[in-house]
Amino acid sequence: MTITQTCSYPLVLASTSPFRKEILNRLHLPFETFAPNVDETALPDELPAILVVRLAELKARAAQINYPQALIIGSDQVAVIDDTILGKPGSHEQAVKQLSAASGKQVDFLTGLCLFNTHTGKTQVDIVRFSVTFRHLTAQQIENYLLKEKPYNCSGSFKSEGLGIVLLERMMGSDPTAVIGLPLIRLVQMLEAEGIAII
């Protein structure tokens, strides 16, 4: 397999997420990471889809001062159940609440994606949806899962790429990497539009 990069700009991932970094590594492209200092608080009455697109672009643009000639990837994700945003639980107790609420229900993961060319000012922005349906979970199953995987920094309190897959009944969407937080299928299309050929 030959990798050709026709664009000379460096590629930057504006995220400190180890999950997004791991996903981007799949493309075998050299890239740097940048920690964007962005307030992720939702605006009053802001819809989840608008929120993730806005934050993805804000994260990408936050790196512009450090990378005046680069392609910068920004991404943001929320999990939504019954029109309520599930953030990162941060604690065992909150994770129990989230998984209890998700038991037997569909959870929609909305991922905002932005590719920002800081040299030309061009931005490509999109949103990718991926849905999962949870099995009916007992309190003991939830406890057992959380104690084994400790997904306290993950939206929705589970990792589909890990043991969290056993919590699910069904997955629905065009790109399984979207549920992890960086939809590679759409990103590849954006990169190709900027002159980067992956294969």
Query: Which positions are annotated as active-site residues?
Result: 76
In whole angstroms, what is the distance from residue 132 CA to residue 108 CA?
7
In whole angstroms, what is the distance from residue 159 CA to residue 122 CA?
33
Residue 83: left (phi > 0), alpha (psi -120 to 50), or beta? Answer: left
Q: 71 exposed, middle or buried (CB, 10 Å; 0-12, 13-18, 19+)?
A: buried
In whole angstroms, what is the distance from residue 25 CA to residue 70 CA?
18
